[in-house]
Every structure is written in structure tokens, then in C-alpha cells.
Structure 1
Amino acid sequence: MIKKHMPVFVVCLLIVLVSLIGGAVYGINKLIPTSKQMDLTEYYGHNADGEAALILGTQKLEQKALFSGNDVYLPLDVVSGYLNQRYYWDSENKKILYATPTSLTEEAASEQADGNVWLKDDTVYLKLDYVKKYTDIDSYIYEDPARVAIQYKFSNIQTVTVKKDTVIRYRGGIKSEILTKIPKDTVLRLLDEGEDWDQVATDDGYIGYIQKKKVSSADTTNYERDFKAEAYSYLTMDEPVNMVWHQVTSTDANSYFADAVQNMTGVNVISPTWFSVSDNDGNVSSLASGEYVMQAHEKGLKVWGLVDNFSENMSTTTVLSKTSSRQNLENHLVTYALKSGLDGINIDFESLSEDVGIHFLQFLRELSIQCHENNLVLSVDNPVPEDFTSHYDRTEQGKVVDYVIIMGYDEHYVGSDAGSVASLPWVEQGVKDTLAEVPAKRTILAIPFYTRLWKTTDGGALTSEAIGMDQAQQVISENGAETYWDKTTSQNYGTYEGDGATYQIWLEDAQSVAEKVKLISKYELAGVAEWKLGFENSGIWSVITENLS
């Protein structure tokens, strides 16, 4: 019986041994890193003839670079979106315009890859060397597969340093394919920290994973750079700016300058609303008066002429997107400014659509060059920052113009719910948000001399009218309205009944203006502006002066 069972026992033993050996081999294989190299064509994607994969910083892009002989060309939208937004495509003349702080340069496009600008299949490409002329970047160019890696961020970069020779893998895990070998002491850009694997990027275009134990802890690196960009200089005042806008609607109104400023004190800049873009060719209607400027100068006032885009006979997008119209506008403004003896130009282009954003910025760049050549201060008015005004790009404005002015009013407006024109928390938040983009020393806060009288009928219809300080006090007095200090808005609030309606008013007065002007010193701003001359009461000037200093 024993002999009959022996073969069965041996077979079972062999099965067990084979299973144990198989399990051991499987377990050992799980612990052995794969040495398989990833197919880089698969990693970077397939390229058509003449194309190259494009890696910007720590991301692979869908867009492709182009090779032509030894030259590399980058798509304009990639350059503008990631590297340098100042390369402006002049579609009218088929050329690239580039505004430096002191000059406007241009490069004509060619349908052949024989220059700095290549127009291929209606897409604009810039030669890499041309981009490097004005942009601080490092580039890494490889073949097989064709690829171009560009690094453009060099400050406050999270990095790790390789502690010993190792590899970067496509995914986290030792069984993931190898992208590239990495020698000891290589500094890698850290994208994400994991428990056992860190996601990293090399300067030359590999983005993958490395074992955490093979690298140092995260550090912040600032790379030393030799690139020297031409810096902007600014025409600014040594004392705090105290500017008032003077709404001038006719040439005859200029003759009332002396009466308008008779009781005005503490102001050092006046901005008459003299200019308006009149048509789509960039022509300008002007109410400018040299006599007005001379009188202002005699009173120690600088004069910054305002230009608006309010005419129904023009489209801001049409004017600014067409180079001939845009530059015609610039030339007119500077000519009028010099002819009348102005000290500066104030740009008040409102309700800008998103599609005009890049053209508006180019307008400011080009106008800045001419203004500074002629010693003219350039300022630009901006609404309080909101998500829907990001295309105003206050960061770029702040680099180009002398002063950025925050229009700290119209929190509530015709068509909105009833409320304050400029509550203190709303204005202060606008200051904070602007200072995230613009240097405080060249930021001016504009405050209102007006408020709105809101009327709600018994039927629920809501209307409002803008009224000045004296008229607002008259309304309160004549209607026996009681007012109280509203801590949420930092304004005196009043309400009353009459004519089958409820009236509400959030007052702009000495108290509310003082609180707003205190923001100038609190945030070390360049100064204050007021809309508009004629809406104030006589005592408000001393309130501004006292709180501005």
C-alpha cells in the first residue's frame, strides 16, 4: 500500500515545490526594477515632417515647434501665452511689432523660413533666436525624436536634488518604463510630492517620477541669470497726487476755469475731459485750450488731458486692433497735448470687451513711448478689479504707464440693486486686488464726489439719479430724513417716504471721504483722484488734504 501511494506523494511534493519556486520568483520579480526604456516617440507624440514636440517649463504642449534647417520656430500664441506677451501681430501689415520701453521695433513676416517671422498656413511663428533677444529663456533642442524644451521660470522654484545616480520613470513605480537616467547632484523641478515617488521635471524636457528616497527634501531655488531686459522709467511726482477731473463739454466751458477752481485747495493735478475718439480711423475730437492750461499752471496745477471712448460713432475694438487707426489716435493725442502745453494724458477707455484686451495693451505700450519722448505723464483709469475685467491686465499696464488709477466707485449703478456707490470695504478690496498687480507707489485711488438717490415706487420700480454733495444734503434737509452712520459701508445712510415711493441714499460727505482717503497712507499709494469738480462741497478739500498727508 505504501508503494502505491508514493508516486502520488511525490507528485504533490513537486507541485508544492514548483508553486513555492514560482511564488518566490514572482515575489523577487516584483522587487526588481524594470530596465525597459520608454519609446520617446510615444512619450512626446508623433511629429509631422518638420515639426518638433514642444515642452514649456513643466508641461508638454499640444502645439508644435517647427524646424527649418538649423533654425527653430515657435508658434506666436505659445510665445505670447507663456513667454512674452509683447510680440504683437499686426494683421493689417503682416508684421510683428515689439515695443521696448523706448522704441517700437518691427519684423515683417515671410511665407518662407528666411527671417524672424514665418507666416505658415495662416499661423505666425517666431524664430527662437528672435524670442531670446527680448526674453529670458533657456532652450534645449534634440532630434530623434525632434523636440524643443524651454525653461522660462527661474525665481522661487520648488526643487529637489538627486542624491545618487538614478532614473526618472514614466509613472510612479519601479515597473514603470524609464524616461531618462539622472546623475547625482542634478537639480530637478518639483511638481508634486508623493509618499514614495515625487513628480519632477528636468530642464531639458522630461516630466516623470523619481523615487523619493533618491532625492533631497524640497527646497526653493532662485536661478542666477545673465539676461538684462531694458527697464521702464517713470514720470512720477515727488509729492502725493491729488487730482480732480473737470468735466468739460464745450470749448466755451474752458473760459469758466477760474470760477470752477475758485474754492479748490490742495489739488496739484487737474484733468479736463477734452478728448474723445471720434471715428474708427482713430481721429480725435478736441476741446483743448492753451489758455486753460496756462491758467492752471499759474495756479501750480499740472494738466492731464483725458481721452474717452464714449462716442457712438466708433468701435474701440476696431480702432485699437487696426495699427493704422491705433497709431493715428496716438499721434493725434500727443500732437494735441504738445500744442496745448499739457503735462500728461489720462486714458479713460471704459467697458472694454475681452477681445480688445491685447490691442488696448499695445496702444498703451506705443503711447507710452511717445509720451516719454515728450515728457508727458501717462495714466490710465481702471474699474475695481473683477473676474470679468482680467483682460485689462493691470500687471502689464503697471509696467508700461506712469500711473494706474482705480475708479473706486459705481459699486451700485443704474440698473443694479439699490446700494452705496462706494462702500469702504468694497473700495478697500479694490485697492488690495489692484496692488496684487500694480506697485503701490504708482497707484492712485479715485473716489466719488457724488452719490445716488434711489427711488423705489410702491409698485417696486427702482430708479436712481446721481447727485453731488450739496444737492444730497439739500435732499436730506428738505425731506426731513434722519441719517445714521452705517458701519458696514462707513457712510451716513438716510431714507424717507414721499410721492408714493421710498427713497434711500448713502451719503458721500466729510466722514465717508475721510475714511476713503485714509486708504492712501494705509497702503502707501501714490495719491487720490476725485470725480468730479463741481460735485464737491467747499469744505471737502481740506478734509482730503488733512487725510492725504
Structure 2
Amino acid sequence: MRNTLRVFTAIFLAPLAVCMAAAGIFLYRHFSPTREKADLDKYFGVSGDNAAALYLNFERQDTGALWKDGTMYLPLDYVNENLNKRYYFDKDQQILIYVLPTEIEKRGAEDTLESGEPAWILEGDAVYLSLAEVTAHTDVFTEVFTDDGHPRIFLLNLRDSYTQGTVKKDAAVRLRGGVKSRILTTAAKGDQVVVLETLDHWSKVMTKDGFIGYMPTKRIGNLVDAVREDSFDEPEYTSIKHDGKITMVWHQVTVQAANAGLDTLLGETKDVNVVSPTWFGLNDNEGHYTSLASRDYVAKAHAAGMQVWPLVDNFGHDFSANVDPVKLFSSTKARETLIANLMKEADTYGFDGFNLDIENLKQEAGVHYVEFIREMSVSCRNQGLVLSVDDYVPESYNSYYDISEQGAVADYVVIMGYDEHYAGGDAGSVASIGYTRNGIATTLSQVPKEKVIWGVPFYTRLWTVDGDKTSSKAMGIADAKQWISQNGVSMAWDDETGQYYGERQNGSATEMMWQEEEKSLALKMKEVRDNDLAGVSAWKLGMEEAADWGALSWDSQPQ
């Protein structure tokens, strides 16, 4: 009987033991930590000779870096877009340019840094900047790891604090949270880690040896807020500031003889302290221009207590078609020629600054034009000349004019707050009060208020709509009032546009006008005052009436 029981027990327990053993093996394999190593080539996501992984603010970038001849290099395009937009490369002359407040650094292919390494190299058609070159001019913290055969660079340009912790016990750092995820590295007891994200049981960390992965949260202690060390000395692009608020007017000068009319035109003005005559018209792609400058004009303006900031433009002349802004401003030699000649003009005629008015740029010209502004700012700063730049009301489609950078290097950004509706477009106000308010708000999100001059129009448009055809004619304030009077047009105030509006039938056509006059100008000026802008400017001298200058007063006005 006992033998039978033993046999029965053995028969019954043997399969059970096998099942339990199998279950144990299954549970061990399912729940025990894997010791498999991660594929680091796949993890870092780079391939090819000299390729290096690139991280910004703890995130791996799609763009890679180069580790070559013991030097880390970053792609110029990446640096411009993410770290420092002031690096400029002239492909034709093979020169790297960096504009500082009072000097311009230029480095050719053969030029090296103090360390002996090149400032930049070409890899195929792409330009790469050495890390030493980038950190010389950029507020960024860097860490480079190369010892394990997988070169990589970590960049940190955030000023926000981050969480740092201390490893309490040796722990594997894995690709993902979970013991079955493959191992990247081991965090040793006492190591400092950056804690990027904390889950229930796992934390995403950056390790001391340059890996970003997951480790058990319970293995991390002593959590503290940390900030990156900042030893970068930011250069100061100083500005020349006008005493008090600016009231500026543009004076269109198309022939030399027109300079003599300044006295007459200024007779009806009030509080004008800056005049900008349209003297310099660009006429080729080599940096030359046609000049209408006058020493007597400058002397008269100075005697009247006004500064003179001559305008430099690329439109409105018979020869303007000869100018291709892309070719002109992308040429280092042409930019140098233009700037040097303009500085000579200032010496010769004794005026006080410049007003740049470069319009109708294609997007591809934007980066070159902004570089020209940077470079011109150096000469102006060194010679004590004011540099002001005219711009459209900022919109997404003209963002390549980069008014934020203009505001950093130039003395004033002048926003031409008109042409809301323009010749060739739909009928409407040239500058409604809503357009003004929105334009000022958008501008101030990019440029400090003490550098913003707001442009207002001394003109309106007479619109004619005949069937599906729309045309318009620009009219100065005085001429517009005369048209209204002669044609007996009834004008009614429109709160939405902040202007008087009137229309009349002329045969099959409807003629419409959103009138610009002292009341509408006073509303715009109130916005200028309320936002404490640096100044106001009007286009153009001679199109206004005397009362319009009162509307542009900086003194408080009843509304």
C-alpha cells in the first residue's frame, strides 16, 4: 500500500514540479532585469565618418555635429537657427563674418583661432563652425563626450532651472522605463544626474557620462533645483539716443533744386526735431548710389534745431531697376563699398545719421540685408551717427526683415504704419486705428519701446470701384479736403476705422475715401503716447495742413 502511495505521489508530483519549474523560469525571464546592452549606434542615430550626435536642452536633434581632428564642429545653419543668428557666411568670398558692437570679425579658410584650430570648415557644401568659435560669441553651456567611441555634444542655452539628483545606489540606466529595456550605461552611487522627468517608478535622467535614459526613481535622492553656470560676457550694442521724444518728417527730394524748398515747407510745422530728406538712391549692385545731398540744407536744418537723417532707398528712381537686393547685400565687397561711401557723405555734409528704407525685398534677400544693417551699425556707432531703419508693419509674411535683430543693433526701428490698403489692392483705409493698435502691439513684442518710431500718413487714397475694377489715387490731406469740398461729399465719422468716411457716385463708378486728417491723426498719436514710443514720423512733408501738426503733439490732448 505504501509503495502504491509513493508511486501515485511521484506520478502526481513530478508533472507538478515540472510545471512549477517552468513557471519559475517563465516568471524569472519575464520579471528579472535584462542585462542586454543597447545598440549605441542606433541609439545616437548618427552614421558616417566623423559623425557626432547633437543634443540641445537634453533633446537629441535631427541634425548632427562633426568630431574631426580632435575638434567638435556644429553646422552653421543649425547655429544660426537655434543658438546665434549673427554668424554670416559669404559663399562667394569664403569668409565667415561676425559683427561685434565696434568691430567686424572676418575669418577666411586659412585663418585659425588662438588654439590653432580653424574657425570653420567645409564638409561638402555645408559650413561647420568649431565649438570654440561658437562659444566665443554665444551664451551656451556645452559638454562633449568622445571617450567611448560615440562622440556627442550636449548644448544648454536655457536659463530656466532644472532638477538635479544624487544616485543612492548603483543602477542601470535603460533605454526606456522597465527592467526589460536594454542598458545604456550604469549610474554609480554618488553620481549627479539631471532629472528630466519623473514617473511612478522610473525617472528620465541625463547621466554623468552623457546618456539620456531611465533609472528607478527610488535610486535617486537629494533632489535640488540647479541652473547652468553663466560666465558669458554679452557684448553691448550701444545705441545713440535722441534727447526727448522724436517728431520726424520725411522730405521727398527728387531733384537737387528741391533742397531749397526746406524753409518754406518747414514754416507750418510744429515741434519737428528730425528731418529725413530722400537723398541717396541705390543704383547698382556694387554699392553705388545717386546723391542729392546739400550742405546748405544741413546747415538750415541745424539752425532750426533739427537733426538730419538722410534716407537711403532702393525704389522710386529711373535707375532703381538696376538694383538686385540679393546680389547687392550678399556681396561683402558691395556692402563694404556702400557703407564706406555713406560714411564719407556724413563727413562731407555734416548730417547726424541715416534712415534706411529698403523695400520690396524677396525673402532670400532678408538675411543679407540684416547683415548689412549689422555692419552699418558698427560704422555709425564708431562715428556717432544715428542709424534708423524703416520697416513695414510686422506680419508673418515679412518676418525675414527681422525687426528684433534690427532693434538690437540699430538705434531706431521706424514702422511705416500705413498702406493697410494699397494701390492695386482692395479698397479700404490706408491706416485704420485698429491697424495702428495691432501694429504697435506686434512691434513691441519684438523691439523695445524706446527704439520704436511710429510712422503716420499725411495722405489718403481716393478709391474708384467700377464693376470688378478697383483703382486708387494717393492724395495729401490738403488735397483730399479740397476734393471733398469741391464734390460736396458728405463725410461721417466711422468708429471702427477711426476716420471720416464718404463716397459718391460718378457715372457707373463709386468713389470712396477714408479720410486722414487731424482727428484721425490725433487718435494714432494717442496710441503712440500711451505706449510710450520713442517717436512719431510722418510721410511726407508738404502733404499736410498746419492743424495736423497739432494732432501730433506729445502733450496730452482731450479725446
Shorter-chain TM-score above 0.5? yes
> Is 1:119 matched with 2:122?
yes
- Unaligned runs of 5+ residues in structure 2 are none
Select the residue among 542, 547, 559 that pairs with 1:539. Answer: 547
SS for the counterpart of 1:382 is strand
Looking at structure 1, the residues matched to 305 and 295 of structure 2 have their Cα atoms a distance apart, in angstroms, of: 15
Distance 1:172 1:374, change over 3 A: same
Q: What is the aligned partner in structure 2 of residue 179 from structure 1?
A: 184
Matches within 5 A, 1:88-487: 88-110=88-110, 115-137=118-140, 138-157=142-161, 159=163, 161=165, 164=168, 166=171, 168-182=173-187, 186=192, 188=194, 190=196, 205-209=210-214, 222-310=227-315, 311-457=320-466, 459-487=467-495
Using the TM superposition, give the Cα deviation of residue 150 of structure 1 relative to its aligned residue in structure 2, in angstroms: 3.2
Indicate if the aligned counterparts of 2:239 and 2:410 stay in contact, CA closer than 8 A.
Answer: yes
Indicate if the aligned counterparts of 1:136 and 1:152 stay in contact, CA closer than 8 A.
Answer: no
> Is 1:60 matched with 2:60?
yes
Looking at structure 1, the residues matched to 174 and 25 of structure 2 have their Cα atoms a distance apart, in angstroms, of: 24
Using the TM superposition, give the Cα deviation of residue 10 of structure 1 relative to its aligned residue in structure 2, in angstroms: 7.8
SS for the counterpart of 2:321 is coil
Query: Which amino acid counterpart does residue 495 of structure 2 have in structure 1?
Result: K
Distance 1:460 1:194, change over 3 A: farther
Query: Which amino acid counterpart does residue 379 of structure 2 have in structure 1?
Result: Q
SS for the counterpart of 1:264 is coil
In the superposition, the TM-score normalised over structure 1's length comes to 0.90
Looking at structure 2, the residues matched to 28 and 520 of structure 1 have their Cα atoms a distance apart, in angstroms, of: 74
Cα RMSD of the aligned pairs, angstroms, is 3.1
Indicate if the aligned counterparts of 1:284 and 1:333 stay in contact, CA closer than 8 A.
Answer: no
> Is 1:514 matched with 2:528?
no
Q: What is the aligned partner in structure 1 of residue 76 from structure 2?
A: 76
Using the TM superposition, give the Cα deviation of residue 163 of structure 1 relative to its aligned residue in structure 2, in angstroms: 7.2
Indicate if the aligned counterparts of 1:151 and 1:203 stay in contact, CA closer than 8 A.
Answer: no
Indicate if the aligned counterparts of 1:140 and 1:204 stay in contact, CA closer than 8 A.
Answer: no
Looking at structure 2, the residues matched to 504 and 548 of structure 1 have their Cα atoms a distance apart, in angstroms, of: 32
Moved more, 539-548 or 309-318: 539-548
Looking at structure 2, the residues matched to 65 and 93 of structure 1 have their Cα atoms a distance apart, in angstroms, of: 24
SS for the counterpart of 1:107 is strand
Distance 1:516 1:222, change over 3 A: farther
Looking at structure 2, the residues matched to 94 and 6 of structure 1 have their Cα atoms a distance apart, in angstroms, of: 93
Indicate if the aligned counterparts of 1:510 and 1:543 stay in contact, CA closer than 8 A.
Answer: yes
Select the residue among 490, 495, 516 that pairs with 2:498. Answer: 490
Distance 1:245 1:82, change over 3 A: same
Query: Which amino acid counterpart does residue 144 of structure 1 have in structure 2?
Result: D
Looking at structure 1, the residues matched to 208 and 275 of structure 2 have their Cα atoms a distance apart, in angstroms, of: 52
SS for the counterpart of 1:124 is strand
- Unaligned runs of 5+ residues in structure 1 are none
In the superposition, the TM-score normalised over structure 2's length comes to 0.88
| Matched positions, count | 545
Query: Which amino acid counterpart does residue 303 of structure 2 have in structure 1?
Result: E
SS for the counterpart of 1:482 is coil
**1:521-546 per-position Cα deviation (integer Å, ceiling 9, x unaligned):** 32222111111112222101112114
Distance 1:104 1:508, change over 3 A: same
**1:249-299 per-position Cα deviation (integer Å, ceiling 9, x unaligned):** 111000000011111011111111111111011101111111101100011
Distance 1:485 1:217, change over 3 A: farther
**1:95-115 per-position Cα deviation (integer Å, ceiling 9, x unaligned):** 211111110111111499953
Using the TM superposition, give the Cα deviation of residue 498 of structure 1 relative to its aligned residue in structure 2, in angstroms: 1.9
Using the TM superposition, give the Cα deviation of residue 237 of structure 1 relative to its aligned residue in structure 2, in angstroms: 1.3
Moved more, 163-172 or 268-277: 163-172
Moved more, 94-103 or 485-494: 485-494
Distance 1:225 1:492, change over 3 A: same
SS for the counterpart of 1:38 is coil
Looking at structure 1, the residues matched to 23 and 309 of structure 2 have their Cα atoms a distance apart, in angstroms, of: 85
Using the TM superposition, give the Cα deviation of residue 317 of structure 1 relative to its aligned residue in structure 2, in angstroms: 0.6
Distance 1:367 1:483, change over 3 A: same
Using the TM superposition, give the Cα deviation of residue 333 of structure 1 relative to its aligned residue in structure 2, in angstroms: 1.5
Moved more, 156-165 or 144-153: 156-165
